[in-house]
Structure 1
Amino acid sequence: MANDGPRERKPQKVVPSKAASTSNEKKKGSEVTFVPTPEARLKDLAADTHSHWEFGGPVGVTAMMTGFPCLMFYLWTCLWFYQGRFIRPESIEDIRPFLNRIGNHIYEDAYPTAFAFKMYLGLMAFQLIIAFLMPGKIQKGLPVPSLDYKTLTYRCNALYCCYFTLVVSSTLHLTGLFDLTQIIDHFGELMSVSMIVGFALSFLVYFGAIFFHWGGKPIRMSGWPVYDFFMGASLNPQIFNIDLKMWQEVRIPWVLLFHIAISAALKQYQTIGYVTPNLAFMVLATGLYLNACAKGEECIPQTIDMFYEKDGFMLTFWNFAGVPFTYSYSIVYLHRTDPSAYKLSTAAMTGVYCLLLLSYYIFDTAMSQKSNFRMELQNEFVPRDAFPQLPWRRVKNPKYIETKHGNKLLISGWWGFLRKPNYTADLIQSFTWGLCTGWSSPIAYYYVVWFTIVLMQRCSRDFAKCRAKYGEDWDRYCKAVPYTFIPGLF
């Protein structure tokens, strides 16, 4: 397999800040220790203190925590019973009967049964056990200001766990011990269970942080419990030395989403004797994303989710319920709709496949480029040959802007064209998940619509933090890389 190159190679071409400190890193043997300037410490302290509301403050987050589960039930009803059409009351007098019809659908087909709890909690327990037992690369994260710039270590064994999970699930299906088609058959029940688990774990982590400082001392607290519950209280809760945020970001949502696609494909084969190219596309798309998350788990400690975002309802509910049971809407539509309704021409279907593979290539290599750059700066880069290793996954002699804060902003590779090339590629991938269903149901395009809103909001938050953190150095970076999503346009 391809190799990432020698360990000792470091970034060489530097675009220094005129006012940058002479050295913000100290070496201890092979270890690089980050030492912030006094000015940087003050900025980081300010960033770790609550100063403004996000997501509309207490009112906004309350609306999201109550509204999103309702939206999930509504869209599921539209897909499961009405061929993906938006449904509404026929008149004012029909409002109560309309709500009763939806309630009956939920009670009859989405009631959280004991069997659904066994499936979902069984998956959680299995993923936790193998995460604890499987070998993996030990990866350091970025310096965490709230921990006095300590770098936490993470065991990155998602790839081993992922492949082992596939072996186990295949064995269970082939031996008849557990028919994988039961996942799609009990989709509604599993969705309800996932929401219950998402809320329960959010409460557990929040009160654990408040009363026992689980995951560290609470930071950026607003004083409004509903808002702090949504945003989170602690930064790094762990279970048996397993980082809960990183574990829940990969092990549950994407493993479950891939198995939902596999389950639907198996069910379709049992029902009509073949798997349509459209549903096969979703198996490929979800499989690629699962493998990318597992293969690139070592990149996660370098992300904002790990060193800044707290573990609150926002992350927990979304990973346990939102990702597997809303990103799968195109799968549910293909499962519940006659293939004649979404059949595409060979040329169109081929184009969708090609667009997926191209966008995946950009996504994978962009994430690798930034992660490898950061690991090289910490002297933590170790070549890996996890499949697939794609060309241009690592930039040789990268250029970067050195800031007064001490951090370095990459301006080479994909990151020399755009500030968020990974987001652009991710959005294109999500668009193909809708394209494969044709144009019959707008709900099949939920993923790309929702993802666009999320990434736009995330960019706004990220850029605001960077401007406050880097000041004039951020202006220099924006001048060097003027576009965010589309070269020459935006």
Structure 2
Amino acid sequence: MAANGDGLRQRNVNGNGTSPKFTPTEEGRKRDEMLDKHTEYEFGGPWGVVAIMTGFPILMYYLWICLVFYDGQLVHPNSVDDIKPFLLRMWGHICVDASPNVYAWKVYTGLIVYQLALAWIMPGYMQEGLPVPSLGYKTLMYKCNAVWCVYTTMITATVLHWTGIFRMTEIIDNFGHLMTVAMIYGFGVAFGMYFLTVATGNQIRMSGNFIYDVFMGACLNPRIGSVDLKMWLEVRIPWVIVFFMSVSGACKQYEQFGYVTPNMAFMCLATWLYLNACAKGEECIPQTWDMYHEKWGFLVIFWNFAGVPFSYIYSVVYMGSHDPTKYRFSTPTYVLLFGTLLTAYYIWDTSMSQKSRFKMQTQGITTYRKTFPQLPWGTLKNPTYIQTAHGNRLLTDGWWRYSRKPNYVADWVMSLTWGLVIGTATPIPYFYSVFFITVLVHRCSRDFERCALKYGKDWERYCSVVKYKFIPGIY
């Protein structure tokens, strides 16, 4: 193995041109064993997770009410005497306009059942995941058929809309009702999976505190047959809803005004790009920390059932209920907006591809699934990396030579454009980008702390080579 002057190493290859299978060193196994135990609380411990589990649903309701019933303005009690009437008004909107009615149950449950059925029966690309320390470094196989499932869903929705069986405009018109049902699913599945996992004795990395363990999760890789529930939920539910919510908004605009605004078209493009990227790059997901380390608890379950689809899409909800003159831009502004989105998407897509395929290379995988679009520079040939004493390799090439999290930077810029598409009409659609940067910073602190424990001095060496956490030259 050749090493250059700054401690970076080129990829070892066997005679057939493939990388050897990853095998952790003895030191690596000891560090993995340490990391695979609960040692300290995150998210503020039990009280912190209770605050998140109660506070976030309340915040979702509040922002939705302000957006739809108060012209997008952040309302509040005008005096101490107004607190009770204000709360009663808020509660009245929830009870009437966000009740978990039969329609919402049928639509949301129908989506879940349909997506599970498609995931079960559709053909798929079988992808080997990374070795899982919790399973004695066993690798799991993942059936990647999201592309087939997503586009089958789109065709189905088109047929239902044009035949009048299910009009797309009904989705955004029933936003509040669907959001409540999604929250119920989030809470129900999170608590249900906790009790089921404990009852079957499959829990891992437990703290012993009930509510905290529900929040973080008890199981690692729950499956129904060939369907990995954690990966299924990450792709099939939230981003499908986000995309169809945008399409619903576009259909409603067309019915009301006879045209679709560039702003709504922007959101249809932005949400399609994200959904399609998750589907066409699904085989990269098994290589992520979410799959081989993060447990399946409230943190992930509620967020994918309700958080993402009903708090990231506020710009569409606003446009679906307000006159387009409130957020009309000049042509150069639209060009800049679309250009920023596509540039950020390119960096996000290719950086994710580079990292995931580098991990595949360490497993000896050198042929990759071809789905649309395959962008230039998505795969690195003979990339530089740092070989760690653990046995893992830290990529220092491609976009990853400039920043430790280039994908996060690009992802956040895309989230910002989802608010910029509204301009200054209302601050609420910017919630996504503000909340997202908070999540990313917290996620990075967790990730970097874990990497420091896992790799020790090798992590310090890596940080000396890739100096910036996010934006090159700035931070």
TM-score (norm 2): 0.96
Please give the alpha-carbon distance, in whole angstroms, between the structure 1 residues aligned to 2:398 and 2:6: 20
Alignment-derived partner of residue 410 in structure 1: 395
Task: Within 5 Å, give how 1:308-327 maps onto structure 2.
Answer: 308-327=293-312
Unaligned runs of 5+ in 1: 1-11
Q: Is the 8 A contact 1:83 1:336 kept in 2?
A: no
Deviation at 1:208, TM superposition (A): 1.2
Deviation at 1:31, TM superposition (A): 9.3
State how many pairs are aligned: 472
Q: Is the 8 A contact 2:125 2:369 kept in 1?
A: no
Alignment-derived partner of residue 360 in structure 2: 375
Alignment pair present for 1:174 and 2:159 = no
Task: Within 5 Å, give how 1:438-453 maps onto structure 2.
Answer: 438-453=423-438
Please give the alpha-carbon distance, in whole angstroms, between the structure 2 residues aligned to 1:253 and 1:60: 25
Letter in 2 for 1:345: S
Alignment-derived partner of residue 75 in structure 1: 63
Letter in 2 for 1:306: M
Alignment-derived partner of residue 51 in structure 1: 39
Secondary structure at 1:223 match in 2 = coil
Letter in 2 for 1:250: V
Match of 1:287 among 272, 293, 300: 272
Q: Is the 8 A contact 1:202 1:316 kept in 2?
A: yes
Deviation at 1:382, TM superposition (A): 2.1
Q: Is the 8 A contact 2:38 2:207 kept in 1?
A: yes
Match of 1:391 among 342, 356, 376: 376
Deviation at 1:380, TM superposition (A): 2.2
Q: Is the 8 A contact 2:311 2:432 kept in 1?
A: yes
Unaligned runs of 5+ in 2: none
Alignment-derived partner of residue 117 in structure 2: 129
Please give the alpha-carbon distance, in whole angstroms, between the structure 2 residues aligned to 1:29 and 1:220: 38
Secondary structure at 2:134 match in 1 = helix
Deviation at 1:387, TM superposition (A): 0.8
Alignment pair present for 1:145 and 2:133 = yes
- The verdict on how the C-alpha distance between 1:187 and 1:364 changes in structure 2, with shifts beyond 3 A counting, is same
Deviation at 1:35, TM superposition (A): 2.6
Match of 1:241 among 209, 222, 226: 226
Please give the alpha-carbon distance, in whole angstroms, between the structure 2 residues aligned to 1:316 and 1:67: 16
- The verdict on how the C-alpha distance between 1:284 and 1:13 changes in structure 2, with shifts beyond 3 A counting, is farther
Please give the alpha-carbon distance, in whole angstroms, between the structure 2 residues aligned to 1:26 and 1:150: 22
**Larger mean Cα displacement after TM superposition, 455-464 or 198-207:** 198-207
Deviation at 1:282, TM superposition (A): 0.4
Alignment-derived partner of residue 459 in structure 2: 474
TM-score (norm 1): 0.93
Letter in 1 for 2:277: A
Please give the alpha-carbon distance, in whole angstroms, between the structure 2 residues aligned to 1:28 and 1:218: 41
Secondary structure at 1:409 match in 2 = strand
Q: Is the 8 A contact 2:160 2:167 kept in 1?
A: yes
Alignment-derived partner of residue 429 in structure 1: 414
Please give the alpha-carbon distance, in whole angstroms, between the structure 1 residues aligned to 2:193 and 2:3: 42
Q: Is the 8 A contact 2:422 2:429 kept in 1?
A: yes
Please give the alpha-carbon distance, in whole angstroms, between the structure 2 residues aligned to 1:64 and 1:291: 30
Please give the alpha-carbon distance, in whole angstroms, between the structure 2 residues aligned to 1:17 and 1:408: 15
The 4+ residue runs of structure 1 with deviation greater than 3 A are 12-18, 25-34
Match of 1:253 among 235, 238, 241: 238
Alignment-derived partner of residue 183 in structure 1: 171
Please give the alpha-carbon distance, in whole angstroms, between the structure 2 residues aligned to 1:191 and 1:378: 41
Q: Is the 8 A contact 2:21 2:364 kept in 1?
A: no
Please give the alpha-carbon distance, in whole angstroms, between the structure 2 residues aligned to 1:31 and 1:347: 48
Alignment pair present for 1:36 and 2:24 = yes
RMSD after superposition: 2.0
Letter in 1 for 2:174: H
Q: Is the 8 A contact 1:26 1:34 kept in 2?
A: no
Please give the alpha-carbon distance, in whole angstroms, between the structure 1 residues aligned to 2:294 and 2:229: 13
Deviation at 1:441, TM superposition (A): 1.0
Deviation at 1:41, TM superposition (A): 1.3
What are the Cα deviations for residues 306-354 of structure 1, in whole angstroms up to 9, with x where unaligned? 0110000000000000000000111111112211111111111111000
Please give the alpha-carbon distance, in whole angstroms, between the structure 2 residues aligned to 1:16 and 1:403: 16
Letter in 1 for 2:146: A
